[in-house]
Amino acid sequence: MREAAPHEIATIVAERAETRRIVKVVMPPERYVRRQSDHGFDFDEYLAHPERYEATLEAHLPGITALVNGIYWDVRYPRLLTRSWLRRAYAKGARPRLRVIGDISCDIRGSLESTIRATTPARPLYVYDPERDDTRDTLDGPGPLVLAVDNLPCELPREASLSFGAALRPFIAALANAHRGGALDADA
């Protein structure tokens, strides 16, 4: 895996330079939104007046295979991925590069319009059909695969705790019987 800047996406795709490894691109807000009046960007203004901004993420999407979204979003902010873009991209059986969307924010019909419902840890994925604006609980069909587990941050500590507990289990008896009195640190 290597990291690249957002402006490198089109070149990497055109040159087919990275067909066998993952290229990670982190996009700061100034790469996915811009001021409508002059295409500039000011973070403080964006937070205070998001209505002055428009999304530009869709310009990068032809070069992206997997999109992971973890931004704060509410109705004042522009949508980053629209149903209309997805409909055009997947029209008439087309297979665009964008295949997977991981919406960690999980704002239903929010910044990513492909997130039309939350998924669960037991059923974490669906295929979003942009033509029908509907989902399928399969791994095939027209549209991108969407992961939108609304409590995903809770699952990661749970998995880590289970793994740590399993690794620690063989040592519990020895730990319980070890050092029954006094300070553990000789200087204490």
| Residues 52-84: tens digit of each pLDDT | 999 999 999 988 999 999 999 999 999 999 999
- Confidence category of residue 91, pLDDT binned at 50, 70, 90: very high
Number of H helices, E strands in the chain: 6, 9
Between 79-93, 120-134, 174-188, the lowest mean confidence (pLDDT) is in: 174-188
- Confidence category of residue 169, pLDDT binned at 50, 70, 90: confident
Q: Residue 174: its pLDDT value, please?
A: 67
Q: Residue 185: its pLDDT value, please?
A: 56
From CA 172, how far away is CA 158, in angstroms rounded?
20
pTM recorded for the entire structure? 0.77
- pLDDT, tens digit (0-9, with 9 covering 90-100), for 135-151: 998 888 889 999 998 87
- pLDDT, tens digit (0-9, with 9 covering 90-100), for 97-122: 899 999 999 999 999 999 999 998 88
Average pLDDT of the chain, as a whole number = 86
Residue ranges of E strands in the chain:
2-4, 23-25, 33-35, 53-55, 66-69, 100-103, 125-129, 134-136, 145-147
Measured distance between the N- and C-terminal CA atoms of the chain, rounded to whole angstroms: 47
From CA 184, how far away is CA 51, in angstroms rounded?
59
Cβ 147 vs Cβ 120: under 8 Å: no
pLDDT greater than 70 at residue 184: no
